[in-house]
């Protein structure tokens, strides 16, 4: 790990120097373990907030004991990330928790393909590309009528209330394709099927660590 920095809310982010093959795609994660940190025996899932050829910025939560120069063991990239439709011209992004960082690599990929991108979020924001439009979360119910594709970032406890948050009636479907990044503890990273990261789907329980953490919203029970 090369450096520690703070996001606009004062949370720690870490610059991880690593081979390009270890950099997670948008929505994917790596499991990181610091052998010298005796207080953290379990690996920590890290998502990219910004990507470069020689590494990536891992966004919050970053363990407080990690300092610049801390050696890390990385496993991954793991899980299923976001995918952009070939026919998408308008992408809506929404961060329902306290950071937009995990969505920014997807925004960068879409803008590089000349896709119009709109972000729905509350709270302090970092400097953003001028081509990125920003609206408060209260305007999110307007997004599905405009967007070809919707990408959401939310913690698992917020999934049952998502339909109401989007302004949908019970059993009403979205008019556009939607993917959701589910944030939940993933201690085993798919090695043990421990069940700590179970997510309700239309065909039983799924594991965020390997079936996700990005899901097609129509596959979930919400």
Each residue of 158-189: pLDDT tens digit?
999 999 889 898 888 899 999 999 999 998 88
Cis peptide before 168 (omega within 30 of 0): no
Q: What residues make up the domain containing 36?
A: 3-78
List, in sequence order, every beta strand (DSSP E) within 53-99.
55-58, 73-78, 90-95
Beta bridge partners of 55: 17, 52
Q: Tell which of 78, 107, 139 closes a domain.
A: 78
Q: Quick check: 61 pLDDT over 90?
A: no
Q: What are phi and psi of 155, to 5 degrees?
A: -80, 155
pLDDT on residue 106: 97
Q: Quick check: 8 pLDDT over 70?
A: no
45 with 24, same domain: the answer is yes
The count of domains in the chain is 2
Quick one: what percent of the chain has pLDDT higher than 70?
95
162 with 185, same domain: the answer is yes
Which of these ranges, 5-19, 63-77, 199-213, has the smallest mean pLDDT? 5-19
Mean pLDDT rounded to a whole number for the chain: 90
Q: Give the number of other CB atoms < 10 A from CB of residue 86.
A: 6
Query: Rounded to two decimals, what is the model's pTM?
Result: 0.91
Report yes or no on 124 lying in a domain: yes
Report yes or no on 83 lying in a domain: no
């Amino acid at each position: 790990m090369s450096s520690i920095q703070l996001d606009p809310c004062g949370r720690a982010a870490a610059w991880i120097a690593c081979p390009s093959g270890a950099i997670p795609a948008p929505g994917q994660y790596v499991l990181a373990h610091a052998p010298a940190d005796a207080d953290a025996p379990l690996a920590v899932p890290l998502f990219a907030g910004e990507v470069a050829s020689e590494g990536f910025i891992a966004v919050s939560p970053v363990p407080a004991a990690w300092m610049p120069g801390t050696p890390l063991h990385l496993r991954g990239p793991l899980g299923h990330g976001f995918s952009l439709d070939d026919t998408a011209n308008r992408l809506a992004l929404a961060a329902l928790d306290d950071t937009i960082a995990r969505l920014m690599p997807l925004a960068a990929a879409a803008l590089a393909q000349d896709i119009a991108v709109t972000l729905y979020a509350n709270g302090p924001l970092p400097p953003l590309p001028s081509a990125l439009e920003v609206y408060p979360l209260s305007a999110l119910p307007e997004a599905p009528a405009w967007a070809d594709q919707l990408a959401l970032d939310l913690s698992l406890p917020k999934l049952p209330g998502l339909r109401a948050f989007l302004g949908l009636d019970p059993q009403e479907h979205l008019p556009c394709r939607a993917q959701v990044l589910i944030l939940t503890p993933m201690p085993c990273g798919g090695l043990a099927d421990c069940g700590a990261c179970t997510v309700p789907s239309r065909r039983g329980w799924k594991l965020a660590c390997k079936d996700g953490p990005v899901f097609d919203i129509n596959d979930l029970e919400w």
